């Protein structure tokens, strides 16, 4: 299988960039506050993508017909869903999306949700993930007369649904799922039905909740349920499709006996620390990673620092087991926005100093343990270490709360090409020298598996072994 249409944002390759987030809401009554409700749910998922935001509202109650209204644009949730939008529309079904593009150009045409008309009625669709056989399917569809309006792999899903619409919505969905391969969490409106789908390996997360007044909510992370006051019901299982209609939930297991392989980086970096995914507490994973880092290589130091925000839980864990005091010696500018799209290289070079500023009184003359969630290219880590040394640090012992990143991701994560991943061509000792650290330690693969209590998680970016076999990469 060829990997089709994958886009990498090379301006900010020093982090595994966020993927996307999806939200679905179903009510059996007309809601005037459904957009406001979605606003808070999407805002809770904003960490998963800051490029664009959008919603589709369905009113299937007034005049007894399904009417779809879509609002989407480039920008943050607060920039797209403005005061007027929050109060002007009523409906009973809604899907929402925040985007960080891994396929397709960053422009409004590629914002989700995507909409279409078909023999089974109106379709609206939002997607988190990445299909790996897009080239093959798109070629087949194009040869059969399909025209594409966007450059996203999501439109392929929409076209497949439309192609099979004559068979009815269930068969159409199942035919589509039989065609596509990759990682995906989907929320779909077909006429007045809300549908949630998780890929056969469960690489991308999706969960289900219910509010006290009877709203069903689908979301990429449980933190969105918390923001909406919804009780967590369960995770959507790998290879499962749920259909919510007439205030009832139908579950269809479209792929049986698949190996559950959630993305390990959800727990290392992507997800919010207050989320629970597949029964695993994200904060606990990061906290335990810090404890394991100390046990791997105990050292003497004066202070432990976590790189905000995702490095902090690991730093706290490291501090607790080592007895070395934790210090909030790095201050993050929470209003910096998307510095990776700065208009010039000169400005991008200043991004670390703009994002993070050290408190010199906590650093000067001290031996530091600095813990970050990961080390991908090393450029940011190098700048950070220099900044700390320039602020008077005596030693900087750098710790990565993930194993060595050696390989690309093909499942909806924006990561540098393999040749740019420092761990793919340098040994740890050389990386230490390159970034200027006094010592360097990565979380071991064995410890990550122990913390996750399984070897079945997707760890392809560390091992080169992916849950989907026979990929031509």
Q: What sign does the dihedral 337-340-344-347 (CA atoms) show?
A: positive
Q: What is the pLDDT of residues 347-385, one digit of tens each?
A: 445 667 678 899 999 999 999 999 999 999 898 899 999
As beta bridge partners, residue 182 has 131
Listed residue (246, 236, 362, 384) closest to 304, CA to CA: 362
Q: Is the pLDDT of residue 427 over 80?
A: yes
CA angle 431, 432, 438 (to 5 degrees): 175
**Per DSSP, which regions of 266-366 are E strands?**
276-277, 280-281, 303-306, 330-332, 356-358
Q: What sign does the dihedral 405-452-100-464 (CA atoms) show?
A: positive
Looking at residue 360, its pLDDT comes to 94
Run of H or E residues at 231:
strand 231-235
How far apart are alpha carbons 286 and 307 in whole angstroms? Answer: 13
Looking at residue 333, its pLDDT comes to 81
Q: What is the pLDDT of residues 260-283, one digit of tens each?
A: 899 999 999 999 999 999 999 999
Are 332 and 355 contacting, i.e. CB atoms less than 8 angstroms apart? yes
Q: What is the pLDDT of residues 309-347, one digit of tens each?
A: 889 999 999 999 999 999 999 998 876 654 333 444 454
Looking at residue 15, its pLDDT comes to 52
Tokens of 114: 């995507």
How far apart are alpha carbons 56 and 35 in whole angstroms? Answer: 9
Query: Is 58 a residue of the active site?
Result: no
Phi-psi region of 214 (alpha: psi -120 to 50; beta: other; left: phi over 0): left
Are 13 and 376 contacting, i.e. CB atoms less than 8 angstroms apart? yes
Looking at residue 470, its pLDDT comes to 62
Q: What is the pLDDT of residues 63-101, one digit of tens each?
A: 777 789 999 999 999 999 988 888 889 999 999 999 875
Listed residue (218, 183, 187, 219) closest to 202, CA to CA: 183
Taking the CA atoms of the chain, what radius of gyration do you get in angstroms? 23
* Residue 382 CB partners (closer than 8 Å, separation 6+): 434, 435, 436
Q: Strands 193-198 and 240-245, how do they pair?
A: antiparallel
How far apart are alpha carbons 218 and 339 in whole angstroms? Answer: 31
How far apart are alpha carbons 376 and 407 in whole angstroms? Answer: 10
The DSSP 8-state label assigned to residue 470 in this structure reads S
Q: How many residues are recorded in the chain?
A: 473
**Phi, psi dihedrals of residue 177, rounded to the nearest 5°:** -65, -25
Q: Is the pLDDT of residue 16 over 90?
A: no
How far apart are alpha carbons 57 and 29 in whole angstroms? Answer: 13
Query: What are the strands of the beta sheet with 439-442, ordered from one edge?
Result: 303-306, 367-372, 395-400, 439-442
- Residue 332 burial (CB < 10 Å; 0-12/13-18/19+)? middle
Instruction: Check 20, 111, 223, 458 and give the catalytic one.
Output: 20
Helix, strand, or coil (residue 253):
strand
Mean pLDDT, rounded, for 170-185: 94
Helix, strand, or coil (residue 137):
helix
Position 14 confidence tier, pLDDT thresholds 50, 70, 90 = low
Place of tokens 């320039």: 390
Helix, strand, or coil (residue 96):
strand
Answer yes or no: CATH 3.40.50.2020 is held by domain 285-408+415-452.
Answer: yes
Phi-psi region of 10 (alpha: psi -120 to 50; beta: other; left: phi over 0): alpha
2.70.70.10, 3.60.20.10, 3.30.565.10, 2.60.40.10: CATH of 10-260: 3.60.20.10
pTM of the model: 0.89
Tokens of 212: 């006290």
Position 416 confidence tier, pLDDT thresholds 50, 70, 90 = low
Domain definitions of the chain by residue range: 10-260, 285-408+415-452
Tokens of 134: 């897009």
């Amino acid at each position: 299988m060829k990997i089709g249409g994958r886009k990498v944002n090379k301006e900010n390759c020093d982090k595994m960039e966020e993927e996307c987030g999806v939200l679905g809401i179903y009510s059996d009554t007309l809601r005037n506050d459904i957009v406001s409700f979605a606003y808070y749910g999407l805002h809770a998922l904003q960490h998963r993508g800051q490029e664009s935001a959008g919603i589709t509202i369905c009113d299937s109650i007034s005049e007894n017909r399904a009417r779809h209204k879509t609002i989407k644009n480039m920008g943050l949730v607060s920039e797209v869903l403005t005061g007027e939008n929050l109060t002007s529309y009523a409906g009973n079904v809604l899907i929402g999306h925040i985007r960080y593009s891994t396929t397709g150009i960053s422009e409004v045409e590629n914002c989700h949700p995507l909409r279409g008309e078909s023999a089974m009625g109106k379709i609206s669709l939002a997607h988190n993930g990445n299909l790996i056989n897009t080239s093959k399917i798109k070629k087949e569809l194009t040869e059969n007369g399909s025209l594409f309006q966007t450059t996203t792999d999501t439109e392929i899903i929409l076209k497949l649904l439309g192609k099979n619409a004559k068979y009815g919505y269930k068969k159409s969905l199942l035919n589509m799922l039989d065609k596509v391969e990759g990682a995906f969490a989907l929320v779909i409106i077909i006429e007045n039905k809300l549908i949630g789908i998780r890929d056969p390996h469960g690489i991308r997360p999706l969960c289900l909740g219910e509010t006290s007044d009877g709203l069903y909510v689908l979301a990429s992370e449980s933190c969105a349920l918390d923001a909406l006051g919804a009780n967590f019901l369960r995770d959507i299982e790998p290879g499962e499709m749920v259909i919510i209609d007439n205030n009832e939930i139908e579950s269809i297991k479209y792929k049986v006996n698949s190996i559950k392989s959630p993305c390990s980086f959800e727990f290392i970096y992507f997800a919010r620390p207050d989320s629970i995914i597949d029964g695993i507490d994200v904060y606990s994973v990061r906290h335990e990673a810090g404890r394991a880092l100390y046990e791997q290589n105990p050292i003497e130091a004066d202070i432990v620092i976590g790189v905000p925000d995702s490095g902090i839980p690991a730093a706290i864990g490291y501090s607790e087991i080592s007895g070395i005091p934790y210090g909030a010696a790095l201050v993050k500018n929470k209003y910096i926005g998307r510095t990776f799209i700065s208009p010039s290289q000169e400005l991008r070079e200043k991004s670390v100093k703009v994002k993070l500023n050290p408190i010199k009184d906590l650093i000067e003359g001290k031996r530091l343990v600095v813990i970050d969630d990961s080390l991908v290219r090393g450029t940011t880590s190098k700048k950070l270490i220099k900044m700390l040394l320039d602020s008077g640090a005596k030693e900087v012992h750098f710790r990565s709360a993930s194993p060595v990143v050696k390989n690309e991701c093909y499942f909806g994560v924006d990561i540098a090409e393999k040749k740019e991943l420092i761990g793919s061509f340098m040994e740890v000792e050389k990386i230490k020298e390159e970034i200027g650290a006094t010592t360097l330690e990565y979380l071991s693969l064995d410890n990550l598996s122990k913390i996750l209590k399984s070897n079945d998680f997707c760890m392809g970016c560390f091992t080169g072994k992916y849950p989907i076999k026979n990929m031509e990469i």
